[in-house]
Structure 1
Amino acid sequence: MSTPFPFTAVVGQDDLRLALLLNAVSPAVGGVLVRGEKGTAKSTAVRALSALMPQVDVVPECRFSCDPGSPDPACPDGPHAPGTAGRSRPARMVELPVGASEDRLVGALDIERALSEGVKAFEPGLLADAHRGILYVDEVNLLHDHLVDLLLDAAAMGASYVEREGVSVRHAARFLLVGTMNPEEGELRPQLLDRFGLTVEVSASREPEQRVEVVRRRLAYDADPEGFAARWADEEADVRARIVAARELLPSVRLGDGALRQIAATCAAFEVDGMRADIVMARTATALAAWAGRTDVLAEDVRQAALLALPHRRRRNPFDAPGLDEDKLDETLEEFSGDDDPDPDPDQGPEGPGGGGGQPEPDEGPQGDDTGAPPEAGENGQPQPSGAGEQSAVRAAEPFRTKVLSVPGIGEGATGRRSRARTEHGRTTGARRPRGALTKLHLAATVQAAAPHQRARGRSGPGLVVRRDDLRQATREGREGNLVLFVVDASGSMAARQRMSAVKGAVLSLLLDAYQRRDKVGLVTFRGSGADVALPPTSSVDAAAARLESLPTGGRTPLAAGLLRAHDVLRVERLRDPARRPLVVLVTDGRATGGPEPVALAGRAARLFAAEGVASVVVDCESGPVRLGLAGQLAGELGGTAVTLDELRADSIAGLVRDVQGTSRRAA
């Protein structure tokens, strides 16, 4: 095993290191989610932490790392007699790959032996390996939802349950959960964010001297890992001893009523949901006091705990960046400061200004800011003449809940919430012979396959004689995520301020829907003389929203160029991710101008999608009393459907359904 980079040699990243150390002191804090751009030492710091964790005593030959002083009474390898002589080993750090299967995570039962012999032949998974250690998930935002649910359930309950057709195994699974992610590759669902105790935002330093030191230490480590680690051995030993001392002090730390009031007031002020934030803040503040060698929690501990535990829990829109208004935090702490803090030191009070008047936080987003730009001339809804200049970007209208757009048929793509797909999870629709290892047994089909052969197999007792050829795998149907490629007309015919605001609001609404349904998204725009890929396909829906917000308009309408560029994006993406089915959402009024025969060329480009069976929806943005119906004709060329901006709203669709049902009942 290679020598890890020393934890104490990591340059900067103070919040990241503190959050990891607090969890090492008190695993009850609930783990750490580290968010940041690539190349910011996220994985390096996490892997380095494992060398600082105190050693653990385990029962010899127990695959589930039972504590000999207090063995798990339900351990599958037990029972272990209390007081069994144990052996000491380093705490493990187990990495969960993004592509791991459910059986690899929680373990697997030998179904054939369970049915034929009635024994629980259980092979432990990564959760068992990580018990009393660290479970590290790199790129946790790319982990399949059902794996994340299993992982976080085990972290919350301290145990893992494996059940297969009435045969169940339970074992302890208490670990320090650490996840890292790059927000540009997609966000975690809010309810999953809440399950991580602390969240830290990391970024590369902009200070030249600090960057020089990072490079210097990394080159020295790469040249001689053992020698570099030896030079930091004393610092590592000091931190390891401090962790042990803080763990021993932790039960003696006093969390007074004043600190509790500050915690409750802070959570209420930032409108966090539920009580988990209060509990995590209390545990974090207690760990901070123990780490500082104190037995009382001070206001400074509460403040630091809030900065680590609340940014990802405050109420916000999905596309808003996590953050906390520190001026508001200081005001709240000052207002609810109590008199029970022992010997308060005025030099150790809340950091930062206590009053308001500061600049708005970045997480307030563009909606809290007014550019002050004067309105453009020509906002009468009419197409601009050929060669019209570019107009500045307009704000998106308020988003709304959209109609569900899906890809026809049944796919086999990544787990999501949009279109029908054959998945490992969902409702059972049939059975088949297993290809490879059996993961989901179809019990009835297995019994039906084995029953006709019982006499020939010499069955003499009540048990069923089952052989490998009898086993049947359950086929299940669930939902998949799709590639939703937005192709947006940003030409002069769409440039009227009111119309473009409505169009951006509609696309933003569809992006919100894609965020909730775990889709990948891409954005192609066309205007002037060509088309651009504003955003290559990505899981970062907020990046698409940011590009949409700054989208300028004006010029001719090169519809064919937009369609051809979208077709090229799909061709490349099909090579990268062939199982993910695409859905093209074309947002246009149907006009095509510029170049020879623009309408005919656009029709030929549209028929490429129809020939390949690509699912498509045209959002018809035509307005005014006289409608040409060009978008509907284009939808026919694409082999897709057309909806107006009004029809895109889920409430208008629901109203239409109710009207149709009411008419049918009256007719009956």
Structure 2
Amino acid sequence: MPQHYPFSAVVDSDEPGSRTDMALALILTTVSPEIGGVLVRGEKGTAKSTIVRALAAVLPRIDVVAGDRFSSDPRDPAPLSPDGPFAHDAPVETRPVRLVELPVGATEDRVLGSLHLERALSEGRTEYEPGLLARAHRGILYVDEVNLLHDHLVDLLLDAAAMGRSTVERDGVSVSHAARFVLVGTMNPEEGELRPQLLDRFGLTVEVRAPRDPGARMEVVRRRMAYDADPDGFAAAYADAERDLTERIGAAQARVADVALSDAALLQIAELCAAFEVDGMRADIVTARTAVAHAAWHGRAEVTTEDVRAAARLALPHRRRRNPFDAPGLDEDLLDEVLGPEPDPDPDPDPTPDGPTDPRPDGGTSYEESNPSHEAHDVPGNGADEPRPDRTPTAAGAASSATTVSGGTPYRARLLTARGTGAGEAGRRSRARTDNGRRIGTSTDGRGPLHLPETIRAAAPHQVARGRAGGALRLLPGDLRRAAREGRESNLVLFCVDASGSMAARRRMEQVKTAILSLLLDAYQRRDKVGLVTFRDGAAELALPPTHSVDIAATRLDALPAGGRTPLAEGLLEAARVIEVERIRDPRRRPLLVVVTDGRATSGRDAVPRSRRAAETVAATGASAVVVDCESGPLRLGLAAVLAEHLRAEHLPVAEVSADALTGAVRDGRAA
């Protein structure tokens, strides 16, 4: 069976959000690797991973120094390779371009490389074992679900992308090697956004969506089933198209250095970047390089307005200034205003296609569906995990007098953290034992990276008793020591929001929504999972099941109506239920409950005693909590403070949610 679905079989129509843009972006960044890679954003099941994996098969083969583990170019007069130096007549071999996948859960040692433990312990030799960055040199480094990549790995990629080399200084190893690669990342925005520093490092970005046209969707299924039924025959049908595509990429790579970029084209690029208010100069440089690559791809000797337009659509959407929860995109009207309207299509177009061709005799549109073996993680386990876009976050039996108020501009929120020290997924909120961070000692519990010096120190006193008279160090399992590190973890931040009539005053609700938006923005920056419970008019509702997408949470919050009585007990009990369910699904992620209310309970009989019993139920879960007190006016009852006592939570007036309200960060429950 062929390893991957043919690349030329995945190009589709010119429908907005189609995979034509994705294929073009991938090809341009391989024609000119200096562009800086591609970020592909799209909903699940849109063949993001499959197209990327198919790319390497159509790239021209490269020459490398034979036997060199770091893929040095024989034409490079001073290759940065620990295996060098090489003789001028060193043997050369030709091999395919590598596609190296960086798993989201990879360790730092696996990415950078480290001391070769087997040789160090058995032979007493210090030898460097290359990591994924070394293997990806002169190839493609692919990160699926790049938005979920741990921050310490993001830092490593940023350093390598900026410097073009990787430097390792650890465990007695001091090595530098070249690490120039095309960085390709795919992500589903519903699972959370990408850290801004890494987002800017991607030269190009594209949005992909599943086709909406029934005929196109039918073709997706037909091609997927044809490939599954006869992979070899299906690949053979596209062999000529794959070969033609490889030759065209090779010709563009050879031509790109000779493409002329006139002052007029440079001025167009500068005007575009100024019009879209991009920060810094990287956007100008990337757009220029992309326009040159686009001209080379189309066989032109000079950059034209068409090339500049195509480059801007790929290089600028993720760099324009936008509000925190705005989706990336490009204003086509502004693009036309700067460059002029796009010319009408040529009624007699050049028969040479603009992209990879479709060799099907019927000329049908080319699509393919993601390989289930690669994208099984995209299939939802059950409906409760997936946000439902058609569901309006209103409580059951909402009163017709309910009002909707939008929040203001988010501000920098105070840091709220869970009590004590956890052991969850690496993030940027609460204290935790993690695989990265500062070392606070060693442990023997089997967690964390091996700490070689402490392992040798633990074994050294026992070598005579173990009969060692020379040679390799004799180790037993009890000698192994692990580095105990303390860093930060991400949490489940569950918002429990009072949307009742007592909160419905327009000015107060605007202040409340602005505070929650600010906390949501903080959760986005700290890589948290968020959920939203609302209560009003006699009932509570899980308006947003826990998700990594704070954008969806912000959208649901903005549409949240207010009015009716205050079922505080129901809201707290629903929050407790969600916390317990999430503990089963994601036991390592500690919850942080943020209750936004004025503390009044007015729905049903015995509303106040029931709300206090519900608060004690939540407290019994052990979840850390904060009560954001929204009470205002000259006469205050202090009910939110009483609620905080029953919840064993911190009481925080809404005016103090801003980090500027007090100096320093607030740590929930004070670190134990």
Q: TM-score, normalised by structure 1?
A: 0.85
Cα drift, residue 204 of structure 1: 1.5
Tell me, yes or no, if structure 1 residue 391 matches structure 2 residue 397: no
Cα drift, residue 641 of structure 1: 1.3
Please say if residues 489 and 525 of structure 1, whose CA atoms lie closer than 8 Å, have aligned partners that are also in contact. yes
Three-state SS of the structure 2 residue aligned to 1:651 is: coil
Three-state SS of the structure 2 residue aligned to 1:296 is: coil
- 2:442 alignment partner in structure 1: 431
Cα drift, residue 97 of structure 1: 1.7
Tell me, yes or no, if structure 1 residue 628 matches structure 2 residue 637: yes
Residues 230-278 of structure 1: CA deviation (Å, up to 9, x unaligned):
1112221111110011011111111111111222222122121122111
- 2:376 alignment partner in structure 1: none
Match of 1:498 among 507, 513, 525: 507
- 1:140 alignment partner in structure 2: 146
Deviates more, 1:488-497 or 1:326-335: 326-335
Cα drift, residue 447 of structure 1: 7.8
Deviates more, 1:244-253 or 1:4-13: 4-13
Deviates more, 1:242-251 or 1:107-116: 107-116
Output the amino acid matched with 1:644: P
Output the amino acid matched with 1:276: R
- 1:301 alignment partner in structure 2: 307
> Within 5 A, what are the aligned runs for 1:515-664?
515-654=524-663
Cα drift, residue 434 of structure 1: 7.2
Provide structure 1 residue ranges, at least 5 long, that are not aligned to the other structure. 336-343, 349-385, 658-668
Q: Label 1:437 to 1:403 Cα distance change in 2 as closer, same or farther (>3 A).
A: closer
Residues 283-305 of structure 1: CA deviation (Å, up to 9, x unaligned):
10110010010111112111111
Output the amino acid matched with 1:23: T
Tell me, yes or no, if structure 1 residue 210 matches structure 2 residue 219: no
Deviates more, 1:69-78 or 1:447-456: 447-456
Please say if residues 448 and 483 of structure 2, whose CA atoms lie closer than 8 Å, have aligned partners that are also in contact. no
Please say if residues 414 and 665 of structure 2, whose CA atoms lie closer than 8 Å, have aligned partners that are also in contact. no
Please say if residues 3 and 226 of structure 1, whose CA atoms lie closer than 8 Å, have aligned partners that are also in contact. no
Equivalents in 2 of 1:614, 1:656: separation in Å?
20
Output the amino acid matched with 2:152: H
Tell me, yes or no, if structure 1 residue 258 matches structure 2 residue 269: no
Equivalents in 2 of 1:15, 1:60: separation in Å?
37
Output the amino acid matched with 1:597: D
Cα drift, residue 189 of structure 1: 1.5
Residues 568-597 of structure 1: CA deviation (Å, up to 9, x unaligned):
111111112111111000001111122232
Tell me, yes or no, if structure 1 residue 66 matches structure 2 residue 72: yes
Please say if residues 433 and 472 of structure 1, whose CA atoms lie closer than 8 Å, have aligned partners that are also in contact. yes
Equivalents in 1 of 2:449, 2:428: separation in Å?
25
- 2:6 alignment partner in structure 1: 6
Cα drift, residue 450 of structure 1: 6.8
> Within 5 A, what are the aligned runs for 1:346-425?
389-425=400-436
- 1:35 alignment partner in structure 2: 41
Q: Label 1:415 to 1:72 Cα distance change in 2 as closer, same or farther (>3 A).
A: farther
Please say if residues 145 and 188 of structure 2, whose CA atoms lie closer than 8 Å, have aligned partners that are also in contact. yes
Please say if residues 112 and 168 of structure 2, whose CA atoms lie closer than 8 Å, have aligned partners that are also in contact. yes
Output the amino acid matched with 1:247: Q
Please say if residues 389 and 555 of structure 1, whose CA atoms lie closer than 8 Å, have aligned partners that are also in contact. no
Equivalents in 1 of 2:286, 2:223: separation in Å?
35
Q: Label 1:489 to 1:464 Cα distance change in 2 as closer, same or farther (>3 A).
A: same
Q: Label 1:104 to 1:399 Cα distance change in 2 as closer, same or farther (>3 A).
A: same
Please say if residues 403 and 504 of structure 2, whose CA atoms lie closer than 8 Å, have aligned partners that are also in contact. no
Residues 179-217 of structure 1: CA deviation (Å, up to 9, x unaligned):
100101000011110000100011112222222222221
Three-state SS of the structure 2 residue aligned to 1:646 is: helix
Three-state SS of the structure 2 residue aligned to 1:654 is: coil
Cα drift, residue 405 of structure 1: 0.9
Output the amino acid matched with 1:181: M
Output the amino acid matched with 1:6: P
Three-state SS of the structure 2 residue aligned to 1:155 is: helix
Please say if residues 128 and 173 of structure 2, whose CA atoms lie closer than 8 Å, have aligned partners that are also in contact. no
Equivalents in 2 of 1:398, 1:96: separation in Å?
37
Equivalents in 2 of 1:450, 1:59: separation in Å?
41
Please say if residues 492 and 557 of structure 1, whose CA atoms lie closer than 8 Å, have aligned partners that are also in contact. yes
Cα drift, residue 171 of structure 1: 2.2
- 2:494 alignment partner in structure 1: 485
> Within 5 A, what are the aligned runs for 1:19-34?
19-34=25-40
Three-state SS of the structure 1 residue aligned to 2:599 is: coil
Please say if residues 3 and 229 of structure 1, whose CA atoms lie closer than 8 Å, have aligned partners that are also in contact. no
Please say if residues 400 and 509 of structure 1, whose CA atoms lie closer than 8 Å, have aligned partners that are also in contact. yes
Match of 1:190 among 192, 196, 217: 196
Output the amino acid matched with 2:424: G
CA RMSD, aligned part only?
3.0
Residues 370-427 of structure 1: CA deviation (Å, up to 9, x unaligned):
xxxxxxxxxxxxxxxx995442311113322222111121111111111111122222
Tell me, yes or no, if structure 1 residue 127 matches structure 2 residue 138: no
Equivalents in 1 of 2:277, 2:415: separation in Å?
30
Please say if residues 112 and 466 of structure 1, whose CA atoms lie closer than 8 Å, have aligned partners that are also in contact. no
Equivalents in 1 of 2:457, 2:44: separation in Å?
53
- 2:173 alignment partner in structure 1: 167
Equivalents in 2 of 1:162, 1:255: separation in Å?
39
Three-state SS of the structure 2 residue aligned to 1:100 is: coil
Q: Label 1:437 to 1:327 Cα distance change in 2 as closer, same or farther (>3 A).
A: closer
Match of 1:242 among 248, 270, 275: 248
- Aligned positions, number: 609
Three-state SS of the structure 1 residue aligned to 2:602 is: coil
Q: Label 1:150 to 1:440 Cα distance change in 2 as closer, same or farther (>3 A).
A: farther
Cα drift, residue 147 of structure 1: 1.1
Residues 512-543 of structure 1: CA deviation (Å, up to 9, x unaligned):
11111111111000112311111111111111
Q: Label 1:151 to 1:546 Cα distance change in 2 as closer, same or farther (>3 A).
A: same
Please say if residues 259 and 300 of structure 2, whose CA atoms lie closer than 8 Å, have aligned partners that are also in contact. yes
Please say if residues 126 and 173 of structure 2, whose CA atoms lie closer than 8 Å, have aligned partners that are also in contact. yes
Residues 25-44 of structure 1: CA deviation (Å, up to 9, x unaligned):
11111110000111112112
Cα drift, residue 45 of structure 1: 1.4
Residues 74-130 of structure 1: CA deviation (Å, up to 9, x unaligned):
423333323322222221212222222222222221368659977332222222222
Match of 2:103 among 71, 80, 97: 97
Q: Label 1:35 to 1:450 Cα distance change in 2 as closer, same or farther (>3 A).
A: same
Q: Label 1:501 to 1:15 Cα distance change in 2 as closer, same or farther (>3 A).
A: same
Q: Label 1:75 to 1:119 Cα distance change in 2 as closer, same or farther (>3 A).
A: farther
Three-state SS of the structure 1 residue aligned to 2:661 is: helix
Equivalents in 2 of 1:624, 1:161: separation in Å?
59
Equivalents in 2 of 1:333, 1:439: separation in Å?
57
Cα drift, residue 169 of structure 1: 2.0
Cα drift, residue 345 of structure 1: 9.8
Please say if residues 387 and 556 of structure 1, whose CA atoms lie closer than 8 Å, have aligned partners that are also in contact. no
- 1:366 alignment partner in structure 2: none
Please say if residues 427 and 476 of structure 1, whose CA atoms lie closer than 8 Å, have aligned partners that are also in contact. yes
Q: TM-score, normalised by structure 2?
A: 0.84
Q: Label 1:92 to 1:448 Cα distance change in 2 as closer, same or farther (>3 A).
A: closer
Please say if residues 496 and 594 of structure 2, whose CA atoms lie closer than 8 Å, have aligned partners that are also in contact. yes
Three-state SS of the structure 2 residue aligned to 1:84 is: coil
Q: Label 1:236 to 1:458 Cα distance change in 2 as closer, same or farther (>3 A).
A: closer
Output the amino acid matched with 1:216: R
Deviates more, 1:391-400 or 1:560-569: 391-400
Three-state SS of the structure 2 residue aligned to 1:247 is: helix
Equivalents in 1 of 2:276, 2:417: separation in Å?
37
**Identity over aligned pairs, percent:** 65
